[in-house]
Structure 1
Amino acid sequence: MPRSTSTSSDLNDARDALAGRLRELRRAAGLTGLQLATSLSWQPSKVSKIEHSKQTPSDDDIRAWCRAAGAEQEIDGLLVALHTLETRHAEWQRQFRAGVATVQTQTARREESTELLRIFEPTFVPGLLQTPEYARYRFAEVTHKFGHRQDVDAAVAERMRRQEILYRPGKRFHMVVTEAVLHYALCPLEVMLGQVDRMISLSMLPSVRLGIIPFETRYTIAPTHGFWIHDADLVQVETFSAGLNLAQPGEVELYTKVFESLALDADYDRKARTLLTRTVEAIANRLDTEGDESEQS
């Protein structure tokens, strides 16, 4: 099963567990759903929706529920479970209403507190390595997907500001990408030419270890999706609809093992730069060929 699917299942299980615990507290208090709703001046349907994971309770809902059930001692633990659930699943549609630049600022704060950031990307150039031109196409895609008008200029500027952390003493970045990242047609060729050239330059920074997994590699673990590991505390995964923040020790351990396996498949240093240089030459040749064909026509 793809990891993104099992992660979604884990989140549903967490929601069901919270709902189940609230149902247990109601039953232990000898209350029917109608009696609980009446005591809290709620619609009866609200109790049913919460107990069947159709509605996520608020902090105040949990406090009121526990007091009505005579289980005040359960409040703190249930609030922790609720907040963990909210943190694990952050919907892009909601986040992007504040603007993609705001999301970049929030990402920068998390990176500021991270000493070792491990990144795996099978599709995109990691944001910390992107040129302004490449980043602009990535943010334009957000506008296309969600339909929100975005201040792309502000978002690009914030992403470029984030990259200052690459030069910060005490920070370490281990990034692994597939060779496919260098060839996907996600932007014009001239933009990709500058992007690959920038990757060559940044790969020489002492804080950056850049690995590239060649096309011909036989994978031990399939490169299913991208992810970021912040120290040994947090894993971030992006899906089309949401960003997942995984902090359970077992989850972090699993993703760490996956990263280590993928990292072993990658080429580094001179081999990686040779591959990048070869890609620059291939793109330049394609641009020359297209230019010649345009002149002839």
Structure 2
Amino acid sequence: MRLGHLVRDAGITGRELSARCGWHPAKTSRVLRAKAVPSDSDLRAWCTACGAEDQAADLIATARAVESMYLEWRRQHRDGMRRTQHDVLARNAAARLCRAYTSNVIPGFFQTDDYAQALMRSTFSCTILSRSAAMRQETGSWPFASPSKATRTGGLSPS
């Protein structure tokens, strides 16, 4: 997003940016759509082309931090998600207040078995149902927000 903002703030098009940076317009498009990761030199060239050289160091640092977080996530989940899901379940069970927001489905705490199975059709439904059971133990409060889209018919059906 920040790279797209730089282009807009500079008042240039993606094609102009590509020409200034000396690369094919497809590369600019891939970076803007997050289909390609720009290198440090790409970020410097981008900032220079947009007249925002002062932002290059921050963008490079941010890109490196994101890459580090991704690599850490991959390391933690290289053996699957089961341990992470159990950790989340333990934190949810111990919570005195748990807030949830989902934009397209009913929050896992409130999902029935049929709904969860229709939604996931995988081992994840067991974890979702465990969270639902933890909520029903009445050990804390569970405020949540869910847009009407999640509860309207025409979405996911439990069949």
Q: Structure 1 length as normaliser, TM-score? A: 0.26
Larger Cα-atom Rg: 1
Q: Structure 2 length as normaliser, TM-score? A: 0.48
More strand per residue: 1
